[in-house]
Amino acid sequence: MTTELGAPPTRRVVASTTRPARRAAPRPVPHLRHERALLRTGLRYVAGMDEVGRGSLAGPVSVGVVVVDVGTRSAPRGVADSKLLTPAARAALLPSLGRWGVARAVGHASPTEIDDRGIVAALRLAGTRALRSVLEVVEQVDAVVLDGSHDWLTPPEPDLFGTQSELFAPSPDLRVPAVHLRVKADRSCATVAAASVLAKCERDALMVQHAAAHPEYRWDENKGYASPEHVAALRELGPTPLHRRSWRLPTVQEPAVATSGEGWHTQPLLPDEVLRAPS
């Protein structure tokens, strides 16, 4: 670079081509705005409900429920959709969640019940069991907020011939509350997020207990979901009584049929002239 005598050297300014790193989007913080809006309509108790274990190959499907009223304060710090939290973070929330809200419970439906009824009816069964538990604390639940766009809690209308009424009808002593669906409620509704944490922690603990009797399937790690180790054990050992046998589970691989080796004698191919000879 040349400059005039006595003039200060000039510097070339090169624009940076690197973009500033984008900050990670903040994790959504669940709140009680939706629940409080329902309570302002005159309802006394509103519950949030969420399920875990729907897609698992083994173990129960579990449903958590948390009930709040107008006096319930904001959720404990750190409450979020259970899928966004580490196991340690979920466990750390349990003491405060055990004191938050008016009532809380987790209900389960067994693998056998899933096989007999189907997964949707089993979800309903687990949900009504959770509701029955909280009704030991409060006299009624007026409304339930469900995550997603499908109401699996409300029993469907009976079929024309009534052949499956026993699978879908609620217990006669249990009134199913009005259901309010909200997509991603586990990320926006504090009661639903709290219910997901309670259900996840309780179901995970059950699967760790079951793993002691069936260590080959590694349920203490995969919690019954289709991890490579779980699938490999199913292919080697087959299902246990805790597997959902009505599902399309990986099957035991049959050994290949031997076509060579000891006990086998290969005949040589017939020559062409023999094949062409008239019969």
Q: Which residues are annotated as a binding site?
A: 50-51, 147
Q: Where are the alpha helices (DSSP H) in the chain?
A: 33-39, 87-97, 111-117, 119-134, 165-168, 185-188, 190-211, 219-222, 228-237, 272-276
Angle of CA points 212, 216, 222, to nearest 5°: 80
Scan for tokens 């938050």, then name that residue: 100
Buried b (16+ CB within 10 A) or exposed e, 36-58: eebbeeebebbbbbbbbbeebbb
Residues annotated as binding site for a divalent metal cation?
50-51, 147
Indicate left, alpha or beta for 221 from its phi (over 0: left) and psi (-120 to 50: alpha): alpha
